[in-house]
Amino acid sequence: MGDGSAAINMATARSARPRRVYEQIADRIRELILEKGMRAGDRLPAERDLATMFGVSRPSVREAMIALEAAGAIEVRTGDGTYVREIASTRMPMPWAKDGDPGPGPLEQFQARKLIEPELTARAAVMATNAEIAELSRLVDKMAEVYPTLGDFDDNLGHTFHTTLARAGYNGILAQIVEHLWDLRDSDMWNHLRRRVVTPANRRRAVADRRAIVAALEAHDAAGARAAMLALLERAEQRYFGDGPQE
């Protein structure tokens, strides 16, 4: 009769997941706060300085800061800097230390989307029906109409556009992954990130990028459709994680 050790070992192996990069950097920022004896209201170093200090990329630092902001550990004051809040100056564990896997962060999601969506878009240029392309065009027209008036940015139209486009590539497995990636955008990290970078100008750029995708689909230009989707994703990633003045 077995002693159950094999089952225990399997459970342990499942729980011993690699920690995500933003978790590791967020914990290092917490350690820095504690080591320096920083208190609530003290200002943190700038993102570029933290990136140099830790030997990591600035986008990775930004993702960690977003996680800390969503956890209530820091406060980002636009144009002023980032400040410590009470929870960060104590040894109280962050939510991801208690709740298991916090899930992939926005930066990791962008990386996945850039691998998948351009190829599905190229497939759609060849395989999409006229009705599917017409629906995508209608969605872009609707975005152009409503995006400038949106307050708290709820991008249901973006979700519908990208998942409809993914299905028009006629690979159900990849289309389900795109759907999952868009579902992940309904998170505290994404909400904090959107509040920092979504502007009317950015919304207009997103509409123009999607209109370029539809134009390539209408021309049945697979290479052009792939390039247009990649351009949209790279511009969006730059808005969220580039080196612009977002501190």
In order, the DSSP letters of 6-63 are: HHHHHHHHHH-PPPPHHHHHHHHHHHHHHHTT--TTPBPPPHHHHHHHHTS-HHHHHH
pLDDT of residue 103: 81
Locate 104 and state its tokens.
Answer: 């992939």
Q: CATH number for the domain including 92? A: 1.10.10.10
- Please check whether residue 4 lies inside any domain of the structure: no
pLDDT value at 128 more than 50? yes
Same domain, 55 and 156: no
Q: Are residues 142 and 63 in the same domain?
A: no
130 and 160 in a single domain? The answer is yes
Measured at the CA of 104, the angle between CA 63 and CA 102, to 5 degrees, comes to 95
Instruction: Report the mean per-residue pLDDT for the chain.
Output: 85
Same domain, residue pair 231 and 112? yes
Q: Which long-range contacts (CB under 8 A, 24 or more apart) does 132-136 make?
A: 132/164, 132/167, 132/168, 133/168, 133/214, 133/217, 133/218, 135/164, 136/161, 136/164, 136/165, 136/168, 136/213, 136/214, 136/217
224 — pLDDT class (breaks 50, 70, 90): very high
pLDDT of residue 95: 63
CA atoms within a 13 Å half-sphere pointing along the CA-CB vector of 50:
26
Whether the predicted pLDDT of 169 surpasses 50: yes
pLDDT digits (tens, 9 = 90+) for 138-160: 999 999 988 776 655 567 899 99
Let me know whether 81 and 114 are in one domain: no
Do 156 and 219 belong together in one domain?
A: yes
Confidence of residue 71 (pLDDT cuts 50, 70, 90): confident
pLDDT, residue 5, reads: 46
Residue 246 inside a domain? The answer is: no
CA distance 111 to 100: 22
Percent of the chain with pLDDT strictly greater than 90: 55
pTM: 0.82
Tokens of 14: 């499942």
Give per-residue pLDDT as tens, 173-222.
999 999 999 999 888 888 888 877 778 888 889 999 999 999 999 999 99
Least confident of 58-67, 162-171, 173-182: 58-67
Is position 2 within any domain?
A: no
pLDDT of amino acid 225: 98
Average of pLDDT values for 230-234? 96
DSSP characters over 84-98: E-GGGGS-PPPHHHH
Q: Which of 76, 98, 120 is the last residue of a domain?
A: 98
- 30, 72, 95, 181 from 83: Cα distances, Å: 12, 11, 19, 31
| CATH number of the domain to which 183 belongs | 1.20.120.530
Angle at 186 between CA 183 and CA 188, to 5 degrees: 145
Number of structural domains in the chain: 2
pLDDT at 98: 59
What is the token pair recorded at 171? 């690979």
Q: Is pLDDT of 243 > 80?
A: no
Question: In the prediction, which pLDDT does 88 show?
Answer: 67
Rounded to whole angstroms, how far apart are CA atoms 10 and 24?
25
Q: Which of residues 70, 98, 126 is at a domain's end?
A: 98
